[in-house]
Every structure is written in C-alpha cells, then in structure tokens.
Amino acid sequence: MRTFRHGAAEWGVACPQRPSRVAGLAMAGFRVHDLEALRMVPHPAVTLLLEFGAGPTVLDCAAGRQERGSVVAAPGFGSGGEVRARGENVECVQVRLSPVIARAVLGASPADLDGGVVSLDDLWGREAARFREQLGEAASWRDRFALTDALLARRFEAGPPVDPEVARAWHRIVDSRGLARVDELAAEVGWSRKRLWSRFRSQLGVPPKRAVKLVRFDHAAHRLVAGEGAARVAADAGYADQSHLHRDVMAFTGATPATVAGEPFLAVDDIAWPGRGTPAEPRASGNLPPGLRPLSGRR
C-alpha cells in the first residue's frame, strides 16, 4: 500500500498486481482515517464503491440527500460539484466499470441509476451484505482484489451484453478523447441518430452527446492536474477556446479549472489508477461475448 498526501490529508492506496480478468474493469483500494468533504468529480465510468471499514462512507448529495455504505454511481455522477464524500476510518475497494460492461456486472442498466447513485443493498440485496463481510474478513488487499474480481467476473459472464453497435460507438468516443461527432457515430454503425440516442442511453445510462462531453472533460481535467495551462488544454482537447473549457469545467464540477487542477479526487489517479483510471475498453477476444466484440464493418 502506497501513501498519497494532499495538504493535511493522508490516504493509503493499494493497487492490484495484475489486471482484472474482465476487460473494462479497474479497481483500487483506499484506507483513509479522516476523509473530509472530498468533492466527487464526474468520471466516464460506472463507479462501484465497496466499503468494509469501521466507519461508513457518507455521500452528501444535492437537496440534503445522503447515501451511506456501498453504492453504485452512474457515469458523470457528481456533476455540478454538489456531491461530497466524508467519513472516518474509511476502507473500501473502488471499482470503475466501462459502461459497456456495467449492465452485465450490475444486473441492471446504468440508465436505472438515472444519472445518480443508489445503495448496493437496494441493487443486490443480501449479496451486498455477504460480500461486505467477506471483504472485512480478507487478510490482505491482494485477497480483497481477488474476491472482488471473482464476484464481478461471475456476474459479468451471466449478464446480458450491450448491442455491438452501442459498444462500438462508446469505443469511438473514448478513443477520440471526446472529439467524435454523434452524426458520424450513427453513420458508422448504420443506425439513425435517433436510434443510436435511444439505445445508447438505455444501455449505458448517458446519451451519446453527454458521453462525448464527459470523456472530453475527463481528458482535459487530468491534463490540468498534470500542470498544463488552461489555454493549451483547451486548444488540444477540442474546445472552441479557453472560455469554453472554463464553462465546461464549471458545469461538471462547480469549480474553476485552477481549482480543479488541485482536486485530490483527480490527483490520486496517478497512484490508484495507472493510465488515469479509465478502464481499458473491451476488444476482440475469444472469451468476450459477441456484444462486446467490435464490429467488422457497418450493418
């Protein structure tokens, strides 16, 4: 376990020694004695927080709503900067799921999250409580990662895949770093714009245009954290100008680009999520279901 320090805060961060057996799944372990009002920055993945510590993690959401313990959050959760995480003696495994595998792993579409967060107990019932106990009883982070990977791989293999056209459109958005155009995506997979919008949103939980903006923002935000200037980031990331970047960052985080550059939620990524934490996108493989194999051509 490595130590991440940000101001007065100190976190223990653990990483798996090997990648998940499921393409599109990444995880990290966290141990934080005193977590104070951590701003949740939107990310283009479904986030699964599996807590097992002495003190539950508390998410303070908009309109005074709270969620405690293990939760599942939709892509882009935290937009507007209205969500804060806090807690004492926090221990958890955080999983980031590519939206194209999330439906199979969760047993429900990310669209059912309605852009927000739900308790894992509500989604999985007793299985969530049993798994929390197993994580708490595990002797090491290595064992916890193995338990988590085995559970999620089992659920993934039994779950329904997304449409290959939807998966292909998502891959293109990620590969382009949010510069893909929705009209071109629809033409590439052989669908109308309306059909792509409907199937994409129902299966991944976010409309295509929103996905494009979210992936572009994520790429830009990490470049800001790396110390690059806002003007250069705006030009290279496909924004019309620096003001456009500023508006987008404010819309997603409620903070300016200069403030976001120092956010611990993003700064820890170099330790916790090698490659900046966007799960590797599923590619053609003999052990992937047909719905996750890229199309060989248009239909």
- CATH classification of the domain holding 251: 1.10.10.60
Per-residue pLDDT tens listing for the chain (299 residues): 999 987 777 899 999 999 999 999 999 999 999 888 889 999 999 999 999 988 888 999 887 888 899 999 999 999 998 899 999 999 999 999 999 999 999 999 899 887 799 999 999 999 999 999 999 999 999 999 999 999 999 999 999 999 999 999 999 999 999 999 999 999 999 999 999 999 999 999 999 999 999 999 999 999 999 999 999 999 999 999 999 999 999 999 999 999 999 999 898 998 998 765 445 454 433 333 333 333 333 33
Q: 30 with 60, same domain?
A: yes
Q: 136 with 169, same domain?
A: no
Q: 51 with 148, same domain?
A: yes
- State how far the alpha carbon of 108 is from the alpha carbons of 34, 72, 128, 149, 295, in Å: 33, 11, 15, 18, 24
CATH number, domain with residue 77? 2.60.120.10
Residue where a domain terminates, one of 134, 158, 182: 158
Q: Which domain holds residue 136?
A: 2-158
Q: 21 with 129, same domain?
A: yes
Q: 187 with 144, same domain?
A: no
Q: In the prediction, which pLDDT does 296 show?
A: 33
290 domain residue, yes or no = no
294 domain residue, yes or no = no
281 domain residue, yes or no = no
Q: In the prediction, which pLDDT does 276 show?
A: 52
| Cβ-contact 160, 102 below 8 angstroms | no
Q: 139 with 175, same domain?
A: no
224 domain residue, yes or no = yes
| Residue in 13, 199, 22, 37 with CA at minimum distance from that of residue 105 | 22
Q: In the prediction, which pLDDT does 9 show?
A: 77
Q: 151 with 245, same domain?
A: no
How many CB atoms sit inside 10 A of residue 112's CB?
A: 15
68 class by beta-carbon count within 10 Å (0-12 exposed, 13-18 middle, 19+ buried) = middle
286 domain residue, yes or no = no
132 domain residue, yes or no = yes
Q: In the prediction, which pLDDT does 299 show?
A: 30
Q: In the prediction, which pLDDT does 227 show?
A: 93
Residue where a domain terminates, one of 124, 158, 192: 158
279 domain residue, yes or no = no
Q: 53 with 142, same domain?
A: yes
| Cβ-contact 70, 128 below 8 angstroms | yes
Interatomic CA distance for residues 16 and 27, integer angstroms: 7
297 domain residue, yes or no = no
| Residue in 102, 70, 101, 96 with CA at minimum distance from that of residue 85 | 70
Long-range pairs of 141-147 with CB within 8 A, sequence gap ≥ 24: 141/1, 141/14, 141/29, 142/16, 142/17, 144/29, 144/93, 145/14, 145/16, 145/27, 145/29, 145/93
Q: 94 with 232, same domain?
A: no
Residue where a domain terminates, one of 158, 186, 221: 158
Interatomic CA distance for residues 220 and 6, integer angstroms: 21
**Chain-centre distance for alpha carbon 88:** 23
Q: 173 with 150, same domain?
A: no
Q: In the prediction, which pLDDT does 281 show?
A: 54
Q: 181 with 253, same domain?
A: yes
For the chain, the domain total comes to 2
Q: 154 with 169, same domain?
A: no
